[in-house]
Every structure is written in structure tokens, then in C-alpha cells.
Chain A
Amino acid sequence: MNDATVHQEPSYLGAPYGLAAWLLTKDHKRIAILYLISITIFFAIGAGFAATIRAELVTPQGDLVTADLYNKLFTLHGVVMIFFFLIPSIPAVLGNFFIPIMIGAKDLAFPRINLLSWYIYVIGAVITLSVVISGGLDTGWTFYAPFSSISSNTDVTTAAVGVFITGFSSILTGFNFIVTVHRMRAPGMTWFRLPLFVWANYATSLIFILGTPVVAITVLLVAAERGLHLGIFDPRIGGDPVLFQHLFWFYSHPAVYIMILPGMGVISELVANVSRKQIFGYSFVAFSSIAIAIIGFLVWGHHMFVSSQSIYAGLVFSIITMLVAVPSAVKTFNWTATMYRGSITWDSPLFWVLGFMGLFLVGGLTGLFLGTMGLDVHLHDTYFVVAHFHYIMVGGGVTAFLGGLHFYWPKMTGRMYSEPLAKVSAMLVFFGFNLTFFPQFILGYMGMPRRYHAYPPEFQVLNVMSTGGAMVLGTGYFLILIYLLYSLFKGPKAPANPWGATGLEWQLQSPPITHNFHEIPVVTEEAYDYLHAPAPQLAIPASPREVTHE
């Protein structure tokens, strides 16, 4: 298998060349790259909105932007980051690229549908973002009715149509992944030999398929009430505003798990690799993903403890919320135990693992505060909630995505990036993130409500700290963009298996050939068999044969 490093064949990145060949590709790896480029653009747009929000909040007065513009900024920040960056990030980029390879397949089950997913995603995103020139959107990403249906003067209908369309992209991707995992595993690749990344994406796909239709219909109902005055949510025409919240959170709470479950999958791969050890409690980690996906569908009412829903309904939602914390705790303990008596490599993936763990711990544990009814009354809709979900979705989700991107970058691009810069940026992201969002927990407990354009002066010091942290965080993210782009042109060529990792993906050359495998492999080992893994090899060893590329 190590021969792949020396006898390079033309990779998927090469022929056929040209824009048309890329835009009409059915290769899951190229589609993953298309997604990577798209989500990077949307991340940059969403980050721009965030930067403006943080700049506004430096002073208590609303003085940098108007109240209306501020409301549009945080709305689009949420919409873009959630629907067009976080939800597709790990599944559509790393999942698309690696699920077929990890299970020993030449592509996903439905390559054309895979390409269709990307087009639907782009069309939905463009339609949604077109509101920027047609009046903006000021409903918050939560689209709460009846504000969104009768009160907002912005272009809610267009945004709703855009989000509705984008939903089909998720549904098709989930459907594709599920069929692929069921039908296309290589001989010997049993369910319990699957990498945990595949389990996590499988669980995520269940949520895509079961949850997305509900939110798609919900936003369409908002548009229908706005345009056709159907009485669905507005009580003046016979609707029920609390019904909207039930429908919306039925999807949008599981959607949080869409944003973190794939990250948990990435971290399982990385923890095993940096520890050079079988993952501790494989089946517990695998089934906890499924448990989270299922139980996660039954907790939506914890967003509604003070919405006037029945207090007995609140009881049920609170206890199930507490239950869903358990599988996340189980995963965390298993990752920690994996490192016990490992052989820890201090390459850049370790830094992402540790960063993820620190941030995810805080994010997960603060969920306990919010699931506790008597405490949530005070914390609901304050900055405590903002801090909590950023710790989960950005501290957990984005850090895992970046960890995965760094881990798989050599495989995807065939290039190595600067290890020292990667370590520095991982630390910048960790410290910048904490400085940005930890003060927001304190602000929240002090009572500062979210979505406030102006605020009482006693909240200023913590807000200034938060904005300072955001600058550090932004620098970290920007640094990553720079050295990864630089590596594409000037980075050293990557060996087949730089991290000395297990798994079929590391037996292919870097970058892989278009059809991944010449022959479908036969799998004879369990996942993470590090007792027989090769040593890490961050550069291609100097040898006369090395210069044979192309």
C-alpha cells in the first residue's frame, strides 16, 4: 500500500480540466470541493455580519448602524451561518469526500443526485441572499411568527422560499448517505468496522431526512400567511403563534445535532489517530450518535419553557433534555479514555482535538443550565443562550470541521501546510473563541437579552472584551485561510499517509484517483487497528523516486 506514495497516478484533481468539467462532475470528491469553496464564501459573508455586530456592541448606544440594519445583520448572520455554512459543512464537504472512500466504494450511491444537491443548495442560498438587495430580512434566523408573518417590513417571503429550497439539498444528501452506507460497503466492511465518522454522518442523515421537511413546510406556512393571509400563526385571523414555535423547533433543535454530530465523528477519528490507539468503547460511541439523533427529536419544547406552553409539557421536555446530555457525556469520557496509555503524537491534529474538547465541554455543560426549567426562566433569550450555542456550534462544530479539514487536507489536495502555523492558529482560535464568548455567559446571567442593538452601560466592559476576542478569533480563521491557500501552490507534496492513520482513505494515494479504488478492497480488520498502522510521515522521504510526479 505504501507504494502509492511513489507511483503517482493522475488524481481526481487533474483531467478532465476546465470549469465545465468541474461544474458537471459526478465525482463525490469534486462535489466536496465545490461545497468547500461555497461554504468558505458563505462563512466569510457570515463572519462579516458578525464583525459588524461586534463593532456595534462596543458602545452601549446604538451608534454604528441603525436599529433596523442591526436587526438585519444578526438575522442574516444566523441564516447564512446555519443554513449555508454549518449544516452543510462537515457532511457535505468531509462526508461527501470520505464516506465512499471509508467504506470502500467508488462513489456515492447516486452521483447525479449528489451534484443536484449542490445546485439546489447554491440556488437556495442565492435566492435567500438576494434579500440583501430586496429589503433585507429582520426576523432573526428563527422566523418567529406572528412577527415574521404580519409585522416585519422586510422580504421574508423570498428568504422563506430560499430556505425552503435549500432544505431539499439536505434531504437529498442525507438520503444519498443512508443508501450508500447500507448498500455500498466493501466486502468485509461490517457495520461495526465502520469508522465512527461514518456512524456520525449516518445519524446526521436521519435527522436531515426526518427533520428538514418540517422546517421547510413551516417557513412556507409563514410565507403563505404573509402572502395569502391564511390564518395559521396570527391569532387575529384564527392562528396560533405558539404552534409556529413547536413546528420550528421540531426541526431546529435536531438541527443543532446536525451541526455537532458530524463534528463528534471527526473528533473520534482524530482522537484515535493522535492517541495511536483503538477508540475506547467503539460501540458506545457509535450508538451514542444514534441515541442523540433519536432523543434529539423529543426535546424541542425546551426552547419554550416561558412561551406559555403547558407546564406539564415543559416537564416532559426538560427530563428528555437531561437524558440527551448523557450520550454526549459518554462520548466525552470515551475520548478521554482513548488517550489513556496512548502514544500521543504532538502534530497539529492534537491541537484541534484539545481545542474541541475544551470548547465542547463548556458548551455541553452549559446546556444543563438551560435544560433546568427553574433556571431557564432567567436565562432564556439572554446572552447565556448565545454563548451556549456558539460554544456548541462554533467551538464544537467549527473547531471539529477545521480539525477535520487539517487532518484530511493532505489527502484532499495532495499538499502539506505549515505545521507550526497550524498549531499557532489552533491556539489563536481557542483563546480568541473563549475571549469572545465566555464573557457572554456572564452577560447572560446578568440579564442582557440577546438581539439588543443598544444596552445599559453596566454591560459595556464585558461586551468590549467579547469584541476584542472576536478580533483574535477572526485573525485565527484568516491565518488558516492564508496558509491553506498557500499550501495549494507552494506546499510540499503530501505522502499517502502523513499521520500514520488507519482506514481505507489512507491507503490511497494523495490525492486519490477519480474512481478511488482500482479494485474494491476487502476489509479484514476492525477500525482503528493502530497496532498495525504505519508510522506518521509528514513529508515524502527524500529518495530518487520521489520526483516522478506527473
Chain B
Amino acid sequence: MSSSLPLFPLSASTVSGEVDTLFFFILGVSAFFAILVSALMLYFTFKYRSKKAGDAGADIHGSLTLELIWTGIPFILAMVMFVWGAQLFFTMAKPPADAMDIFVVGKQWMWKVQHPEGVREINEMHVPINRPVRLTLGSEDVIHDFFIPAFRVKMDVVPGRLTTMWFTATTVGEYHIFCGQYCGTRHSGMIGTVVAMMPDDYEAWLAGGRTTGSAVQNGERLFTDLSCITCHKADSSGRGPTLGGVFGSTVQLNDGRRILADENYLRESIMTPQAKVVQGFQPIMPTFQGLVSEENLMQLIAYVKTLKPAETAPVPVKK
């Protein structure tokens, strides 16, 4: 675990050990075949060295049995690797339901991190250990990639959509954050630090951080400031659909499609509202592209996710 002999990365998340196990399995299989083939070739090179110039080798053309064996064995091993790797990938792709949220925005060339409670940091991310953390990632400009080697996790941060990743840190410490996807001049400067803390320390750190309101509170304010609330009313009297309970529900669109309302649907509906219009409504909503930043978007979405069905909107607006 010491970093004094730099040949292996720190391992500090619940999946990092599993990734390493799979790595050593494939390494073992690979080393076996590399050594087997190399040793055979070298052995044949010496053993069958030409005695006299012009001697021909044995008159052997092939063997169907051998071909089947050395097609079959690599195939089976490759399938084992595939299944194992796919299982691990699915674990890494599906965050646990009880994960806490952190919002991350990448822009040339920095990481902006926002905790649900409202605390913000730049190029640093404080997290508690032993608690699943789900990151929602957005980009202000080009593709970036949020990579924490010690946790063995990485995810592209793609403009125009939100992506997610998750991890559970297991060991207190400070770990690298790298931008994995080349993004221009200061790509190699787009790095930061994850600070994994004991849960109590994390709470204390959060409490000491300066905040301008929680993500939900900020989202609620934006919902009013941007006049979303004028059309998206709590009851069905608005010109836009009511948003109570919309997150996670299945939405019927006016072109006949039915789609799941996830974060990306909410994001798209704010940035390019004409793309998917709910059945029974006119395509009259203007785009908010350029008016809301990726951070604002994440706050708005955090707020919309809190709206319950048939609940009155928290801020009643009257003409």
C-alpha cells in the first residue's frame, strides 16, 4: 500500500480490490500463454537448428485436432474474461439506491464540485468513507473524463448530456483526480484531489463550508427566477405539464413514444425543449441554452426531483 515503490496504484474503494483481482487473473492467463509460446519457439529454435544448409523440415501440414484445441481453449478463456468483466462493469454502472449525490462540472480546465448541501469546491472533492457516492457529471464545453485511479473508476463528462458514476471510498486519504479525456491546452493541469474522510469529519467539514443554500434551494430559486413556474404549475392549469412526480415516471410524448424521465430527459427538456414534447402540450417552451450553466441545470434538476405528485408548488405564484 505504500507509495514509496511506485509500481502499483493505491486501492481505496469497494470495487478497486475486485478490479485488481480480475487484473491479476488476466495477467496470469496472459503470462502463461506468453511464456508458453516464447519458450516453445526458443526451444524449437535451438532444438531444430538446421544441421546442413538446405535441409528441409519435417513434412507436416497441420492437424485439425490441434487447431480445434487452440481455437477452443482461447475462446473459453476469453468468454470467462468477458463474463467476469461484464459483471464487474454492471456493478460499477449501477449506483446503490442509498447513494449520496455530488454534482461535478468539468470545464477547460478545472473541476467544479458541488455538494447537495450547497458547499462548493474547485479541483477538490471531499467525501465520507464507507458511504456510496453518486456523481452526476456535466461539461461546459468539450468532453472531459473524471478519473480516480485509486478507486478504479472513470467516466466521460460529455457536453450535452449528464453522465453518472459512483464509488464507495474505503480508506481515509487523499487521491488523485485526473482528466482522462484529452481536452486541450491544460489537459494535464485538469487534476485534483479526492479527500476521503471519516463520516464525522466529513459532516464537520460540510458544516464549516460556506454555502449559498443547498442545491435544492438554489434550484427552487432558479425555478422562480427563470419563470419556469409560470407555465409548470403545481396543478394542471399551466401551459406546460406539471412537474410533480415526473422524475422517474414514464412520459407519453406527442409523437407516440413513451420514455423514462431521467436526469438526461430533464436536462434535454430545459436545453432543447422541442426535442421531446409531452402529449397534450404545444411546443411553445423556449430554450434555456446560454441562460443556465451546467451547475444551474444540476440545481434545477435536483429541485425537480424533489417535487412530489399532486403537491402544491412551494412558491405559489398568482397573476
Contacts and interface: CB of A to CB of B under 8 A. Distances in A.
A324 B214 CA distance: 50
Contacts of A278: 57, 59-61
Interface string A269-283: 000000111101111
Given A340-B48, A445-B23, A375 B62 contact: no
A75 to B, nearest CB: 9
Contact of B22 (A236, A241, A307, A375): A375
Given A277-B56, A311-B93, A453-B187, A340 B160 contact: no
A318 B145 CA distance: 21
Contacts of B33: 329, 361, 365
B51 A235 contact: no
Interface string A315-341: 100110011011001101110110111
B62 A280 contact: yes
A492 interface: no
A452 B70 contact: no
B14 interface: no
A374 B45 CA distance: 39
Interface in B4-61: 6-9, 18-19, 22-23, 26-27, 29-30, 33-34, 37-38, 40-42, 44-45, 48-51, 53-61
Nearest to B23: A375
A343 to B, nearest CB: 4
Given A337-B66, A342-B57, A368 B30 contact: yes
Given A277-B60, A346-B50, A535-B53, A377 B152 contact: yes
A340 B3 contact: no
B158 A242 contact: yes
Contacts of A454: 188-189
A530 interface: yes
Q: From B41, B44, B147, B176, name the one whose CB has the most chain A CB atoms within 10 angstroms.
A: B41
Contacts of A361: 33-34, 37-38
Given A449-B178, A531-B56, A326 B78 contact: yes
Interface in B151-190: 152-156, 158-161, 163, 176, 178-189
B253 interface: no
Nearest to B46: A344
Given A71-B185, A236-B289, A344-B50, A330 B59 contact: no
Contact of B41 (A152, A357, A445): A357
Interface in A442-458: 442, 445-447, 449-456, 458
Contacts of B7: 442, 446
Nearest to A367: B30
B79 A322 contact: yes
B74 A326 contact: yes
B85 A375 contact: yes
A374 B42 CA distance: 35
Interface stretch (A92-100, A126-134, A139-147): A139-147
Nearest to A311: B93
Contacts of A330: 67, 70-71, 74
Contacts of A308: 155-156, 158, 161, 163
A294 to B, nearest CB: 16
B60 A345 contact: no
Contacts of B156: 306-308
Interface residues of B, number: 91
B180 A68 contact: no
A150 B142 CA distance: 8
Contacts of A311: 89-90, 93
B75 interface: yes
B53 to A, nearest CB: 4
B149 A446 contact: yes
A120 B125 CA distance: 52
A372 interface: yes
Given A278-B59, A307-B156, A451-B182, A365 B34 contact: yes
Q: From B42, B61, B63, B153, name the one whose CB has the most chain A CB atoms within 10 angstroms.
A: B61
A500 B50 CA distance: 13
Contact of A372 (B60, B66, B84, B179): B84
A446 B6 contact: yes
Contact of B81 (A150, A372, A530): A372
Contacts of A62: 188
Given A238-B272, A449-B180, A374 B89 contact: yes
Given A147-B183, A280-B62, A373-B89, A241 B6 contact: no
A534 B40 CA distance: 27
B154 A377 contact: yes
B227 interface: no
A431 interface: no
Interface string A366-397: 10110111111110111000000000000000
Nearest to B191: A456
Q: From A306, A350, A533, name the one whose CB has the most chain B CB atoms within 10 angstroms.
A: A306
B185 A67 contact: yes
Contacts of B6: 446, 458-459, 461-462
A308 B272 CA distance: 19
B281 interface: no
Given A381-B181, A447-B176, A358 B67 contact: no
Contact of B8 (A151, A374, A445): A445
A380 B180 contact: yes
B26 A368 contact: yes
A138 interface: yes
Nearest to A357: B41
A474 interface: no
B228 interface: no
A449 B147 contact: yes
Given A326-B74, A456-B176, A381 B154 contact: yes
Given A354-B45, A373-B89, A374-B19, A284 B67 contact: yes
Contacts of A276: 50, 55-57
Given A275-B57, A346-B50, A372-B82, A380 B154 contact: yes
B143 interface: yes
Contacts of A354: 41-42, 45
A334 B141 CA distance: 50
A62 B188 CA distance: 9
Given A446-B9, A532-B56, 20 more contacts: A67-B185, A67-B187, A142-B182, A147-B183, A240-B160, A241-B160, A281-B63, A334-B67, A339-B44, A343-B57, A344-B44, A344-B48, A366-B30, A368-B26, A369-B23, A373-B85, A375-B23, A377-B154, A449-B178, A500-B54
Listed from nearest, the 5 A-B pairs whose CB atoms lie closest are A235-B160, A447-B149, A535-B54, A374-B88, A277-B57
Interface of A: 62, 67-68, 71, 138, 140, 142, 144, 146-147, 150-152, 234-236, 238-242, 275-278, 280-284, 305-308, 311, 314-315, 318-319, 322-323, 325-326, 329-330, 332-334, 336-337, 339-346, 350, 354, 357-358, 361-362, 365-366, 368-369, 371-378, 380-382, 442, 445-447, 449-456, 458-459, 461-462, 500, 530-536
